Amino acid sequence: MSETKQPPHLRTKRLVLRPFALSDAADVQRLAGDKAVADMTLNIPHPYLDGVAEQWISTHQTQFDSGEACILAVTLAATGGFIGSISLMISRRSNRAELGYWIGAPYWNKGYCTEAAGAMLDYGFRALALNRVHATHMARNPASGRVMIKLGMKHEGVMRQHAKKGDRYEDMVLYGIMAEEWHANNARAGQERGTTNG
């Protein structure tokens, strides 16, 4: 039986992850439509045409209600400014999810992606009781892989020419983390900070 509650609002030190609104569409089109962003993600089209963002946003609640996905806007806590997207695409049959994310180019190299992804993993393992989360990145986008490493995800292999972007076949690098590893890493980090995990 599917739940009818709303997607979560997740807070970190610098960010708020919240459900998308149709009013975010212009920002999505502007930031995701940047060739530098679209080139490094499999599912973002370029050019990013009018109406595509609205259509995409309108699917989120249905996907959440069915337990298939949790897709959140990444915003700055200080200003509310929209900077990107983060998602878990969920397989309840296997109790796992695929983590996906993109951050607008003006906000790269500030640690926002790692911060947002850490909050999303915590939500997945605690609130959704997932057993495993995996993520992939194009081999030519090592910056995304560094985010996965910082999250404690483990390199699991390279899927050669696994995906196609435009007319190019892409090698995809696979990372994964299990719930027990996430909880152990967090407990260890809490001990190092002199705090407990709550």
Beta-bridge partner residues of 102: 85
What's the pLDDT tens digit per position in 162-174? 999 888 999 999 9
**56: in domain:** yes
Question: What long-range pairs does 55-58 form, CB within 8 A, spacing at least 24?
Answer: 56/28, 57/20, 57/21, 57/22, 57/24, 57/25, 57/28, 58/22
**CATH number assigned to the domain comprising residue 108:** 3.40.630.30
Tokens at residue 34, please? 């940047």
Q: Give the pLDDT score at 193.
A: 59
Give the range of the structural domain holding residue 140, as residue numbers without chain letter.
10-193
Beta strand ranges found along the chain (DSSP E): 10-11, 15-19, 69-76, 82-91, 96-103, 132-138, 154-165, 168-178
Residue 1 lies in a domain: no
Q: For residue 131, is it within any domain?
A: yes
Over the stretch 139-158, which tens digit does the pLDDT of each residue have?
999 999 999 999 999 999 99
* pLDDT interval class at 1 (50, 70, 90): very low
Question: Does a structural domain hold residue 143?
Answer: yes
To which residue do tokens 């940047």 refer?
Answer: 34
The per-residue pLDDT for 121 is 97
Q: Percent of the chain beyond pLDDT 70?
A: 93
In a domain, 2, yes or no: no
* Count of structural domains, the chain: 1
CA distance 23 to 17: 15
Is 5 domain-assigned?
Answer: no
Report CA-CA distances (Å) from 144 to 41, 112, 117: 10, 12, 11
What integer best gives the mean pLDDT of the chain?
Answer: 92
**Structure tokens given for 17:** 């992850």
How far, in whole angstroms, is CA 97 from its chain's centroid?
A: 11
Residue 45 lies in a domain: yes
> Does 26 map to a domain?
yes
pTM, two decimal places = 0.91
What is the band of 63 on the pLDDT scale with cuts at 50, 70, 90?
very high
- Per-residue pLDDT tens over the stretch 48-61: 899 999 999 999 99
In degrees, rounded to 5, the angle at the alpha carbon of residue 74 between the alpha carbons of residues 70 and 80 is 130
- What pLDDT score was predicted for residue 48? 87
